Every structure is written in C-alpha cells, then in structure tokens.
Amino acid sequence: MKSLYAILAAAFLLSVSFAVKVPLGNNPDETTHRDYIRLIVEQKGLVMFVPSKGRRPLPAPVVEKMQAREGMTELPEGALSRDETHQPPLYYVLTALVFAITGGGSLLALRLVALPFQLATVWIAWKAGRDLFAKRPELAPALAAFVAFLPIQAQLGGAISNDATTHFFCALIVWRMARFFAPHIAPPHRAYAWGEGALLGLFFGLGLLTKLTVLQLYPVLFVACALAIKAKRITFADTIGVFGAAVLVGLAIASPWLVRNQMLYGDFLAQTIYKATGPNFSPDEISQMSGWSGADYARNVGLRSFVSFWCFLDPHLPTMPLARFIGSPVLLLLTLVPALAPLLGLYKASKEKAVEPVFGFAALAVLCLVPFFTKFVYEVFQAQGRYFLPSLLAVALVCVGGFAALGKSKWAAFAPAALLLLLSLWQLVGGGYAASR
C-alpha cells in the first residue's frame, strides 16, 4: 500500500502542476468546455447546440428546432461557444456546481474537478494489477505509475475536460473484462453472469453519460466474451447473461440523453451536428491545402496520432513540413520505446509459451478501437492520440507486461513509467506541449 500512496501523491502533484502551469487554451478544447459549463449555470439546465457563423449547414428539421427553442439558428458574434453542448452532461453538471460555488472566476477550481477521477483511475490500475496478477506484486504499482505519468493523461487530470472522467469509467470496464482471463479468478457463471453484466452495464451507462465514445468498448466486450468462450473460461449461455445485461443496463442508464439527442437532432448519437461544432476539415480539404495524397494523409495522421498518445502536441503546428507536424525526431524516437519494446517482450514470452492470456486480451482491446478511429479520421481531419485513451488500462497492461518480460529484474516493469515521467516533465516545462510553434 505504501507504493500506491507514493504514486497517488506523485500523480496529485503532477496533475496539479499541469493545472497551475498550463495556460488557458493549451488543453484540448478547454475554452469551449468552460463555455458549456457557464451556459448550464446561466440557463439552469441543459443547452441545445447552436452553430457559430459560417459552419457547415445542418438538416432543415434541426435548424427549425433551434429556431423554435433558442430563437436563433446561429450564434451572434461574441456569444459563448456551444461547440461542446453535444457532449453528455455528467461531467459538466459536476463542474457547473463548482462554477456556481466559486462564482465562476476560478480557472484552477474548474480544472481540479478532473483530478479525483485521474487519481481514481490510478487506483483502478493498481487494483487491477493486484487482482489479475496475485503472484506478481510488482505489476500493480507499475500499472498505477504508468497511468499516473502518461503525459496526456496527467495533463487531462488537471484540465477542464470530460476526458479524465471518461477514462475512469473505461478503466473500470477494461478491468472487469480482463478478469475473465485471470486463471485464479472464477469466471462469471449462471446468476453471477447477469450480476457481472449488470455491473459492467452500470459502468457503461455512467461512461456514456460522460462521453459517447465509451460505446467503442462494447465491441471489446464482445471480443472478450468470444475469447473467454474459446478458452473455456465461460459458457456461451453465460456470455449471453454478461453481454445482454451490460448492453441493457448501460443503454437504459444512458437512454435519457440518447432520447434527447434523437428529439433535438434526429440522431441519438448527435453525429449529425458534429461537423458543425468546429472548423472540422475533411480529408479532401486538408489534402488540397497541404498537397498530400491519400497515402500521405494516412501516414501523417497515423504518425501524429501515435506521438500525441504519448504526449500532447500543439494542435496548431503546421501540416508542412512533416517534422513540425509530429514534433522533433527525438520525440518520435522516445515514444517508440514504450510502444515497440513491450511488443518485443511479449513476442519473446510467446516463444517461451509464457504469455498470460490477460495480455493477449489487452492487445486486442487496443486494436478494437482502430476501426472507429480510422472511420473518424476519414470523415474529419483529426490526429489526436487521446482518442485511444479509452483503452488506457489495456495499453498499460501491454506495456508493463511487455517490459517485465524483457528483463529478469522485477524493476523492468517500471521502465515505461520512468520514461513517461520524463516526458511529462518535458511537457510541463513546455506549458502543456511537448512540441510547440
């Protein structure tokens, strides 16, 4: 427990340092998140999306509803942004309470709403390590340290953003799924299968009320159930209980928000309005501006997304030349270490037939997010690795397990966290950016 307390203290100091040091606007979409919170307080309730001038046209029925409900179809100059009002309300309602209590003037107070969720995610990582690897006590603090020191996660733990809250619920979901593959833990069976599914459904539902990207973990649950059946860890009948309850309970909890989206926008996921929530360029528009071919677009977005998972890059870096777009070569080389070295370790362990099934599940959990991200970046130009953070605990499992397999010393498991801490300090010195203009 002493190691957990030390890591939690370090995580607290790191995220608070980011909250104090980083200028407003150097966190993802921070000003628009703050505007949404202020609108909830001022209007004493949830807010309908209304686009700023010059945004992409919306379906006529949506425009009519904006006119009827808000008395306008586009925001006047100087109005508070509504670009985040399509986001579910859980985080924003919590932060609105802090906004109201502090009179709305404390940026630090609003940023620190995310901190308890970041610390809770660190604790979940430690709990997962203790739970899944009962005979390998070094893995629990190594997993907790990974989550605590991953730069973008640590920074989001001290930012006005719903991401840290989302990642907490996602970590809970991945932990419970990973338990299917721990040989010393009894798999869900009969009535308990429905109970496990209902617990997962609770985490899914609260996650969906925070950010709808949590839906990406339902396919991960399907894959987990299929793998557990193949490994004879669970019966087909029991997976129906787990998966069915997780879907039914999760969607039931999230249904008020989904129904609201359907009524307002004719789209329960609110994807109809997403392209109008900001200057979201299409791949064709970006290719025309930069001269990229389709292959250039895929490579450049892939590289920047990879680097920005491990660190946060200035979103306004120029698309040309490529070196500026993804940061310095040193940064790219450093981020390759925690990504590639674990794969070598797990490959080595597989040759020795010593890979635990949990690590295989974790690797597939990360891969399950790739199709969603690929579809996303081929609709709008985005190159943000933070969209893979719903799989944060799965990435931590792969990295920590892979490094542990590489070295004979138990301290090898802490190598990723040590490197990430250095990257976090680099990012902190840079005012929130590992590479800036």
The chain-wide mean pLDDT, for the chain, equals 93
Instruction: Give tens-digit pLDDT for 157-190.
Output: 999 999 999 999 999 999 999 999 998 888 887 7
352 DSSP β-pair partners? none
349 vs 386, residue with greater confidence = 386
**Two tokens at 201?**
């459904």
356 vs 401, residue with greater confidence = 401
User: Read out DSSP for 168-216?
Assistant: HHHHHHHHHHHGGG-TTSPPP-THHHHHHHHHHHHHHHHHHTT-GGGGG
Instruction: Give tens-digit pLDDT for 355-395.
Output: 788 999 999 999 999 999 999 999 999 899 999 999 999 99
Q: How confident is the model at residue 437 (pLDDT cuts 50, 70, 90)?
A: confident
Alpha-carbon distance values, 224 to 175, 186, 239 (Å): 11, 15, 10
Cβ count within 10 A of residue 387: 20
Report how far residue 205's alpha carbon sits from residue 257's, in angstroms, rounded to the nearest whole number. Answer: 11
Instruction: Give tens-digit pLDDT for 53-86.
Output: 988 889 999 999 999 999 999 999 989 999 999 9
The pLDDT value given to residue 206: 98
Nearest Cα neighbor of 179 from 139, 216, 234, 137 is 234
The pLDDT value given to residue 346: 86
The pLDDT value given to residue 222: 96
Query: Does pLDDT of 354 surpass 80?
Result: no
The pLDDT value given to residue 355: 75
269 vs 319, residue with greater confidence = 269
Of the CA atoms within 13 Å of residue 404, those in its CB half-sphere come to: 22
The pLDDT value given to residue 188: 82
Dihedral (C-alpha) 141, 144, 145, 148: value to the nearest 10 degrees?
-160
Report how far residue 336's alpha carbon sits from residue 107's, in angstroms, rounded to the nearest whole number. Answer: 35
List all residues 6 or more positions away from 6 whose beta carbon is below 8 Å from its beta carbon: none
